[in-house]
Amino acid sequence: MTPEDWKKVENALLIPYGSVVLKIDGYEVNVMCVMDKPLHYCLAVYIDGKIKGEWIFKDCEIRRRFYQKHTSSLLDSKQKKRLKREKKAIREEVLKKCAHYWYEPYWKSVRSMKAHFIKNNNSIKLIEVF
């Protein structure tokens, strides 16, 4: 896609309930600006018109390509502070083991969604802007 196409996508998704249709590596991807909370909007990604629960919970190609990965630590601040005294290798291993990951079909910004799509996909085409 050209920078002008990305600008059209960004402008369409800044408007509440704006929508774009993209063709990404054979998938039809609908991105819509939907209400997350009152007066707070996010971008919902529909693959071939659907959001399936199995894509969120099971490791699959669609989840890695289109969904946003979130990370949370299972340690509290007191435990993290105590862990700072350990060697770097031990500290990093414990932090990695105590991390919780989850995926969501929702994005907070067009910029981060665009970067993720470009990084994880080969062909992106703009089909339609609503």
Same domain, 75 and 17: no
31 and 59 both lie in a single domain: yes
| Residues 16 and 57 grouped into a single domain | yes
For residue range 31-80, list pLDDT tens digits in order.
999 999 998 999 999 999 999 999 999 999 999 999 999 999 999 999 99
- State pTM to two decimals: 0.87
Question: Whose CA is closest to 31, among 109, 103, 123?
Answer: 109
Identity of the amino acid at 123: S
pLDDT for the residue numbered 2: 94
52 & 3 share domain: yes
Question: pLDDT digits over 9-31, tens only?
Answer: 999 999 999 999 999 999 999 99
Asked if 21 and 30 touch (Cβ cutoff 8 Å), the reply is yes
23 with 83, same domain: the answer is no
Q: Are residues 34 and 53 in the same domain?
A: yes
User: Please, what is the angle between helix 3-14 and helix 110-120, to 10°?
Assistant: 140
SS3 37: strand
pLDDT digits (tens, 9 = 90+) for 80-123: 999 999 999 999 999 999 999 999 999 999 999 999 999 999 99
Are residues 113 and 53 both part of a single domain?
Answer: yes
Given this model, what pLDDT does residue 111 score? Answer: 96
Q: Which domain holds residue 15?
A: 1-66+106-130
Alpha-helical (H) ranges within 58-107 are 61-66, 77-83, 88-97
Instruction: Give residue 59's pLDDT.
Output: 94
* Other CB atoms within 10 Å distance of the CB of residue 62: 21
Shared domain check, 59 and 119: yes
Residues 53 and 98 in one domain: no
pLDDT recorded at residue 75: 95
Nearby residues of 57 by Cβ (< 8 Å), 6 or more positions away = none
Backbone angles phi, psi at 91, to 5 degrees: -60, -45
Let me know whether 128 and 75 are in one domain.
no
